[in-house]
Amino acid sequence: MLHDEGGRLPLASGLRIYAERVSPEAVERHGKLVDRPEDADVAVVRLTAPFDPRSDLFLESWFHQGSLDFPPGLVARLERIAAVCPLVVDVVLDRPAVVTPLLRFASAVVGSFGSCDDALLDAITGTIPPMGRLPFDLPRSMDQVRGHGEDVPGYDDPLFPFGHGLRLDAD
């Protein structure tokens, strides 16, 4: 868990859930799937860390590279969802991402590393305790990335530093 505005997590069971890029079967195990954010108690959206697809050279298409910023249109669409129901965003972090714009409106932001939809929903509903720490810094902006040496680990003032991770304490 990277960000949990107002202690929104864990989600209660039985909620009406609007979901994107989450299997309907996984959602139905934890609540009722709805087709529109306006009809939902909460929205759960899975994203992949941004990258610029390339295929100019032989191995280039196998590696994600380029900007760490989410496209402005995607951010605007997510903000519209968050305007009608609380929004939980999971970012699959196969590489760092600039999640700064999401913090303005997302109730919770989670970073995952290839977990299945069932595991994500189990973690955000508290069925299992979400745990884990970031294996790298998440930068505040692409300007911060551009101004940083390519061969120097970490950032002076990251948005979320190496080792960051919130927990749901049962105490």
Whether residue 81 is contained in a domain is answered as yes
Give the pLDDT score at 47: 97
Q: Are strands 87-92 and 31-34 parallel, antiparallel or unpaired?
A: unpaired
Whether residue 151 is contained in a domain is answered as no
CB-CB contact of 7 with 168 (8 Å):
no
Whether residue 16 is contained in a domain is answered as yes
Distance CA 143, CA 121 (A): 33
Distance CA 126, CA 8 (A): 11
* Among 104, 101, 168, residue whose Cα is nearest residue 131: 168
Tally of domains in the chain? 1
Range of the domain at 36: 3-146
Whether residue 160 is contained in a domain is answered as no
Distance CA 97, CA 140 (A): 9
Distance CA 87, CA 98 (A): 18
Which range of 16-20, 91-95, 139-143 scores highest in mean pLDDT? It is 16-20
Whether residue 94 is contained in a domain is answered as yes
CB-CB contact of 120 with 22 (8 Å):
yes
Name the percent of the chain lying above pLDDT 70. Answer: 92
SS3 assignment, position 91: strand
CATH number at residue 138: 3.40.50.1700
Give the pLDDT score at 62: 67
Render pLDDT for 50-109 as a digit per residue (tens, 0 to 9).
Answer: 877 776 766 666 676 778 999 999 999 999 999 999 999 999 999 999 999 999 999 999
At 70, list the tokens. 């989410």
Whether residue 162 is contained in a domain is answered as no
